[in-house]
């Protein structure tokens, strides 16, 4: 099953990479605009998925990692980590899968696609999707200028608050350092981060 999902995700990389526009701003990253077909494929093989297109000048590598927070406190700064060489334009993809019956954890996949090839990795994590009364919300940045500092690309947040929950605001993704206290509203939160390196 994991090979099947990996093949589909690589296919998505290729489809997304072929659709990038030359009119995009340099040194920027934004949420990828997916076709209906790409969305359908991701919905078939993934529970949660995030795709970002980037255009860069002067950067040679990108590091991507997943951090875990509990009630706003960082408990694991490298749930997942990978880095790879990049070209002037490309795509970053992160997906999670549904927890299979009798499986203690879910799988995640990270990929970096550029003209020179694809770097991908996978792993497992005990995402709290299967816990009774646990709700989840997720969100991502819409667009950001790439600098030499880390960028929060996406967040997946969980809470068992009986009164419901809301997602992170766009302000969180625009200036995460000033809004880290927002993570205290969630029992568990995962932040997908990236840093482009020259």
* C-alpha 68 chain-centroid distance: 13
Query: Strand ranges (DSSP E) for the chain?
Result: 28-31, 48-55, 61-70, 73-85, 89-96, 106-114, 117-125, 135-140, 143-145, 151-159, 188-197
Say yes or no to pLDDT of 179 above 50. yes
Per-residue burial over 134-163, b if 16 or more Cβ lie within 10 Å, else e, is ebbbbbbbeebebeeebbbbbbbbbbeeee
**72 CA to centre of own chain:** 19
Mean pLDDT of all residues in 96-108: 78
pTM above 0.75, yes or no: yes
Residue 73 is predicted with a pLDDT of: 97
pLDDT higher for 79 or 104? Answer: 79
pLDDT reading at 23 higher than 90: no
H-type helices in the chain, by residue range? 2-18, 36-45, 170-174, 176-179
CA-CA distance, 110 to 128, in Å (whole number)? Answer: 19
Cα(4)–Cα(91) distance, rounded to whole angstroms?
21
Lowest mean pLDDT among 89-103, 148-162, 184-198: 89-103
Token pair in block for residue 167: 């997602």
Average pLDDT estimate for 149-162: 94
Look at residue 101 in the predicted model and tell me its pLDDT. Answer: 66
The Cα-based distances of 48 to 28, 30, 128, 155, 193 in angstroms read 23, 17, 13, 11, 16
């Amino acid at each position: 099953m994991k090979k099947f999902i990996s093949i589909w995700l690589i296919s998505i990389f290729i489809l997304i990479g072929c659709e990038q526009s030359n009119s995009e701003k340099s040194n920027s990253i934004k949420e990828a605009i997916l076709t209906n077909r790409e969305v359908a494929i991701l919905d078939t093989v993934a529970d949660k998925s995030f795709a970002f297109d980037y255009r860069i000048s002067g950067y040679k590598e990108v590091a991507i990692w997943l951090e875990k927070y509990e009630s706003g406190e960082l408990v694991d700064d490298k749930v997942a980590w990978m880095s790879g060489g990049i070209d002037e334009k490309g795509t970053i993809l992160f997906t999670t899968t549904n927890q299979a019956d009798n499986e203690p954890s879910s799988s995640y996949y990270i990929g970096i696609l550029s003209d020179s090839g694809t770097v991908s990795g996978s792993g497992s994590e005990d995402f709290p999707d299967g816990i009774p009364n646990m709700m989840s919300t997720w969100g991502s940045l819409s667009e950001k200028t790439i600098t030499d500092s880390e960028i929060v690309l996406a967040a997946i947040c969980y809470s068992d608050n009986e009164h419901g929950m809301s997602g992170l605001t766009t302000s969180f993704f625009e200036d995460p350092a000033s809004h880290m206290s927002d993570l205290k509203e969630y029992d568990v939160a995962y932040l997908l981060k990236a840093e482009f390196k020259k």
